[in-house]
Amino acid sequence: MNVSQNFLMSRVPRLAADPGEVVDALRRAGFEVSRTVPLAELLRPVVVARVESVAQHPNADRLKVCAVNDGTDQSLQIVTGAGNVRAGAYYPVIRAGVTLPNGVKIKRGKLRGEVSEGMLGSADELELGTDHAGLMELAGEPAPGTPLPDVIDTPGVVFIIDGRPEIGDILRALGGDVPEREAAAS
pLDDT digit string (tens) for 148-178? 999 999 999 999 999 889 989 999 888 876 6
Q: What CATH number does domain 45-124+131-146 carry, 2.40.50.100, 2.40.50.140, 3.40.50.300, 3.40.50.2020?
A: 2.40.50.140
Residues 2-14 have pLDDT tens digits of 999 988 988 888 8
Our CA angle for 111, 113, 115, nearest 5°, is: 65
Give the model's pLDDT for residue 116. Answer: 96
96-120 residues labelled b (16+ CB within 10 A) or e (exposed)? bebebbbeeebeeeebeebebbbbb
Determine the pLDDT at residue 185: 47
Residue 97 CA to chain centroid, in angstroms? 14
pLDDT digits (tens, 9 = 90+) for 91-125: 999 999 999 998 899 999 999 999 999 999 999 99
- Regarding beta strands 90-95 and 64-69, do their DSSP bridges make them parallel or antiparallel, or are they unpaired? unpaired
* Predicted confidence (pLDDT) per residue in 17-36, tens digit: 889 999 999 999 999 999 99
Residues 6+ apart with CB under 8 A from 159: 2, 3, 4, 5, 8, 19, 22, 23, 26, 33, 36
If one compares 181 and 84, the residue with the highest pLDDT of the two is: 84
Q: Is the pLDDT of residue 61 over 70?
A: yes
Q: Considering the chain, what percentage of its residues have pLDDT values greater than 90?
A: 76
CA separation (Å) from 63 to 22, 60, 76, 112?
39, 6, 16, 9
Q: What sign has the CA pseudo-torsion 106, 124, 180, 133?
A: negative
Shortest CA distance to 25 belongs to which of 175, 160, 181, 137? 175
Nearest to 7 by CA among 173, 167, 185: 167
Looking at residue 180, what is its pLDDT?
59
Q: Hey, where are the domains in the chain?
A: 2-41+154-185, 45-124+131-146
